[in-house]
Amino acid sequence: MKSASTTDLLHQIPEDLLYTHHPKPVRHEIIESKTPLDTKALETIDIKADLHRKPVTLSDKLAFFIVKLLRLPTDWFFKKKYIHRAVMLETVAAVPGMVGATVRHLRSLRKLQHDGGWIDHLLHEAENERMHLMTWMRVSQPNLWERTLITIVQGGFYNTFFLLYLLSPKTAHRVVGYLEEEAIVSYSSFLKEIDNGNIENTKNVPDIAIDYWNLNKDTATLRDLVLAIRADEATHRDTNHHFADRILLGHEDLRDDVERIFKGDAGGKANKMAGLTDEAAEKWKWNK
């Protein structure tokens, strides 16, 4: 009887659910590549690994202090266990995009107005970071203690970040920008350990990673995986610092600026946004 009921239920699946969602990467170099990516192709992606957004306002300095403070226990606990560090890092990194999208979605409903094009980007960020976590979970196979720690850290960080986003979304996005800067530092150190032979450059790369980042399944290595994920983190670094700048300038709607860029309006307001040109005020520039 139960079997028959289950069969009937499966036959009643709504048409909208009859497709498989395939997560998309965030880097255009990966999305647009016509052939699987090998080590050389991944190394040519220009991520500007040394870029650092100078903290200028009090909010910036607070965000920078919070991130540096959070790094201390992480360095102490994981030391050079970079694969396990990556699992914990991605547990936290997958939270902000979902929180930001949720808050902005609810605000859009309350104010009965368009969100300005942010929600889709934030959800894409959250999904991308979740794919990082799913990949590292398959590589590391965390034990019960590590899974418990992941649950505790995720719960604490989600609620704390949700409160921060409600109080100051500008600070929240700046925190994420600085977290991503630290993620790039961690993954760069990970690469050095691989290159120095301290971590085996195994070819045991999960199928989920090969499929998602369009890696060459015959040659993909752990190093290729780290390169691909580090490139993603650079995208999130740039995006979140830009979001914080837009909030600071009171120009949150992305739609007009994106339209100007695609129309090739070199003199448009989009090209005068904080940090985008050499003519921008010194305090908005990135530095190494």
Residuewise pLDDT in 10s, the chain (288 residues): 455 566 666 667 787 777 777 889 999 999 999 999 999 999 999 999 999 999 999 999 999 999 999 888 877 877 778 888 888 888 889 999 999 999 999 999 999 988 888 999 999 999 999 999 999 989 988 788 878 888 888 889 999 999 999 999 999 999 999 999 999 999 999 999 999 999 999 998 999 999 999 999 999 999 999 999 999 999 999 999 999 999 998 888 888 787 777 777 544 444 444 333 444 334 444 454
C-alpha triplet 185, 121, 156: angle, nearest 5°: 60
- Read off the pTM: 0.85
What string of H, E and C letters represents the secondary structure of the chain? CHHHHHHHHHHCCCHHHCCCCCCCCCCHHHHCCCCCECHHHHHCCCCCCCCEECCCCHHHHHHHHHHHHHHHHHHHHHCCCHHHHHHHHHHHHHHHHHHHHHHHHHHHHHHCCCCCCCHHHHHHHHHHHHHHHHHHHHHHCCCHHHHHHHHHHHHHHHHHHHHHHHHCHHHHHHHHHHHHHHHHHHHHHHHHHHHCCCCCCCCCCCHHHHHHCCECCCCCCHHHHHHHHHHHHHHHHHHHHHHHHHHHHCCCCCHHHHHHHHCCCCCCHHHHCCCCCCCCCHHHCEEC
Half-sphere exposure of 50 (CA within 13 A, CB side): 2
For the chain, which domains are there? 27-252 (1.20.1260.140)
